[in-house]
Structure 1
């Protein structure tokens, strides 16, 4: 009987890695699990500006798995559109959100102001920010703490409980019980040997499970923290021996702190005793201060504040940040981790062209991002309107991930058995999702495995596979793939070099005219056949 069964609708992180948001409804009570920002390519981020697929005023509560912006970053927009219920999460998550949401609001305001001052937008309607800093603080003030393992009722008829997810400080998986149906949402699951965090936990014997699949197609080599430090040591020594800077794009939350933990160890071991390490991210500095307050209870810290060391220089003001451009032999940690914004971009402008510098990636690079373009071997990139040649050493360490790999995800799912209903795989790119689905079906052919799409709604039945009530959106396939704007940047940065190969200006003018003619012909064809030329 589906008319009284709880329903689950996927509003984000379905077929893609970011924008986590699920709507759980039972007999008029409505709860969101996460309300995250789409991050990555410029094209994908356009989804953030669409209206919510539900009325925020009808939402009773939000349960937040953790403070990462792809899980929390649309909370201010939700509040600005009329939501005024409680946002339930761990105390650590609330402390981090104070800074994460405030920073997100400032970024939205800055981006809107920057766009409105662009010359090519002169005369256009003013671009409005997605939300403001005031909206961010209003959302933070709605947060309510709940302890791991503590039962609570976010809305009438819905019982909830949180379990440690082992992903970042304060991260949790969510269990919901309504109408006799038990559903578990993984949130983001941490790997084995995760610094700071205990291993993930959760209930067994449930009806339905929603599990992230970020690394559903990858099997990482098992690396202990000591082994990871050995890898980092080799990269640091090699980079500094070259004489240039070691530039590390970092996520402000957790990745920065893990690197500082390991760098602290290497300094204390006299491996890099004279290192000058600059943390050039105001947000990372603030979140690191939160970690410092919890340092005594975190694993791997020895009960001390490992983030306080004379070699660590926390850069806040812009002038100090710009002075780093003239340095050599420094280690620079700067956000954002995927190089799509923040101070990392000007450090890349000043270091990518240097043969003596090194760029070390230590985090996931989503499809369509500048980080992905660089790591896949681009010879030129376009950053903030500048064409930059890539001459620096490009290196990667894959053992810093805060996400479980395929085998660890499979272990987490197995610990939830028996699963009598359906297993939904979300928070992954197409290949990762399909690889996980095949492996799960190989291991258990009877298990109902679903790959939901954005907009799909399901009835959650007791002891039976979920029943799809509404199909997903059909207009998102292109948005979830490679971003045309990065393709354009790659083409534009190579164009001048290709034109120089021609013999004279006349040939170059002819080539440009032919390219314009091809584009016009394509647009005319699209218009004639009733398709948008955009």
Structure 2
């Protein structure tokens, strides 16, 4: 009897956010990822959002990694009746509660503010679509599996995770679908890591596949060499030291903050870090850093072996001048520090959080330097500063921009074009590729490059259903 199986692209098709794919076979339904679409008005988008299936009909979820654009709708899935199991790696199971609690907390806070505005206009309040109880429900559903451990998760479905090298716990998903004598192997790349990224292993090689869902975020370009990026970063810090003020780095709590702490530790031990203190001023980044420290043995030994050379055992002990400010009062006290500090604070795009308060107090002082180490989306305060606007509003207050702005564009946890091509070429079995998680221009360029190498490649479209 032939295998009757299909896959529907419900997210991250023609865009780089909202990863979600519905796998159906033998009257069973499994989701690959359940991610939130980011970049718009979260309240409006969430309250308009409707799943294109009944959540209670989903038998299981298989999660590639913890980033919100891959996991953020799990709480909504629980709120609407899902009661299956969520399979992920051990690293993802440790990180996910931190990220989901933070996302739901921010959602409820924004909803409360909007409801106050609605009340003033005589409009009825909006009920929350998800709560922290739903996060607890997600946590109870988590079923961690180690890398390279095959597990039968449903009748006729075997799962194995390989290391994707993107963030702690990120996985390439390998699935074997069986029905009688028929079998097909489906591979979902998740987000493939940049081999140059510190602490992460290189993405694992897949030996064989029939169908591959492959990310294409940087399908149209390669990253500059990491050595160039680090020199650029070190020079920006040296320039800031000469100016006599402080350095402010908007923090992406998961992955980028830990990477920056590592490089600051390297510069410190090389005698190239002139600042007297580094402050991690983000409760979420602090919690994630502790998880990284607890799981330090999971990371690439060629990066962590430098710890032993200096008598350190984790990221925190590797940077002796690091201070953690969890309490609001500690964060506010930083306003009294006028020079010699590097302050890493959330959010990464400056659209809220503690970095907004720091910018309010420091953006108009020409001795200060702001260093951006991650992508800034259109419409965010971070993007306005990167684009060189001389006057901005911070927390509703107009400010002149006199601080020096640096943009370090070479840090990326995603594979570049050449790395994507090499990963795809290594897969045996003449698989059919479907490009996901990428903007159309990047996907068209990558498709052409892969086809030139004899691979069968299509670009997935939203709502498209394919037979496996």
TM (normalized to structure 2)?
0.90
C-alpha spacing 1:358/1:123, structure 2 compared with 1 (3 Å):
same
In the other structure, the counterpart of 1:429 is: 439
Report how far residue 130 of structure 1 moved: 4.0
Is it true that 1:195 corresponds to 2:204 in the alignment?
no
Q: Hey, what's the Cα distance between the residues in 2 that align with 1:395 and 1:425?
A: 33
In the other structure, the counterpart of 1:62 is: 61
C-alpha spacing 1:387/1:171, structure 2 compared with 1 (3 Å):
same
Alignment check: 8 A CA contact 1:41 1:369 kept = no
Q: Hey, what's the Cα distance between the residues in 1 that align with 2:213 and 2:175?
A: 11
In the other structure, the counterpart of 1:220 is: 223
Q: Hey, what's the Cα distance between the residues in 2 that align with 1:154 and 1:412?
A: 27
Is it true that 1:118 corresponds to 2:117 in the alignment?
yes
C-alpha spacing 1:378/1:213, structure 2 compared with 1 (3 Å):
farther
Q: Hey, what's the Cα distance between the residues in 1 that align with 2:194 and 2:225?
A: 10
Q: Hey, what's the Cα distance between the residues in 2 that align with 1:213 and 1:338?
A: 23
In the other structure, the counterpart of 2:310 is: none
The structure that has the greater radius of gyration is 1
Report how far residue 111 of structure 1 moved: 1.3
In the other structure, the counterpart of 2:292 is: 291
In the other structure, the counterpart of 2:143 is: 144
Q: Hey, what's the Cα distance between the residues in 2 that align with 1:48 and 1:120?
A: 18
Out of 440, 447, 465, the residue aligned to residue 457 of structure 1 is 465
Deviations 1:146-192 (A, max 9, x none): 11111112222222111100111111110112142211111111112
Which structure 1 residue ranges, 5 or more long, are not aligned? 461-534
Which structure 2 residue ranges, 5 or more long, are not aligned? 308-312
Report how far residue 367 of structure 1 moved: 4.4
Matched position secondary structure for 1:264:
helix
Out of 370, 373, 378, the residue aligned to residue 362 of structure 1 is 373
C-alpha spacing 1:383/1:438, structure 2 compared with 1 (3 Å):
farther
Moved more, 405-414 or 335-344: 335-344
Q: Hey, what's the Cα distance between the residues in 1 that align with 2:394 and 2:464?
A: 37
Summarize the alignment of residues 372-411 of structure 1 with structure 2, pairs less than 5 Å apart. Answer: 372-411=383-422
Matched position secondary structure for 1:266:
helix
Report how far residue 417 of structure 1 moved: 3.9
Report how far residue 26 of structure 1 moved: 0.9
In the other structure, the counterpart of 1:89 is: 88
Alignment check: 8 A CA contact 1:38 1:45 kept = no
C-alpha spacing 1:56/1:360, structure 2 compared with 1 (3 Å):
same
Cα RMSD of the aligned pairs, angstroms, is 2.3
Deviations 1:239-262 (A, max 9, x none): 222223211112101111111111
Summarize the alignment of residues 439-450 of structure 1 with structure 2, pairs less than 5 Å apart. Answer: 439-444=449-454, 447-450=455-458
C-alpha spacing 1:70/1:358, structure 2 compared with 1 (3 Å):
same
Alignment check: 8 A CA contact 2:43 2:110 kept = no
Moved more, 120-129 or 211-220: 120-129
Q: Hey, what's the Cα distance between the residues in 1 that align with 2:69 and 2:407?
A: 23
Moved more, 242-251 or 144-153: 242-251
TM (normalized to structure 1)?
0.80
Q: Hey, what's the Cα distance between the residues in 1 that align with 2:232 and 2:252?
A: 19
In the other structure, the counterpart of 1:350 is: 361
Q: Hey, what's the Cα distance between the residues in 2 that align with 1:411 and 1:393?
A: 39
C-alpha spacing 1:44/1:138, structure 2 compared with 1 (3 Å):
closer
In the other structure, the counterpart of 1:170 is: 169
In the other structure, the counterpart of 1:236 is: 237
Report how far residue 439 of structure 1 moved: 2.2
Q: Hey, what's the Cα distance between the residues in 2 that align with 1:205 and 1:297?
A: 25
In the other structure, the counterpart of 2:342 is: 331
Alignment check: 8 A CA contact 1:244 1:358 kept = yes
Report how far residue 318 of structure 1 moved: 1.9
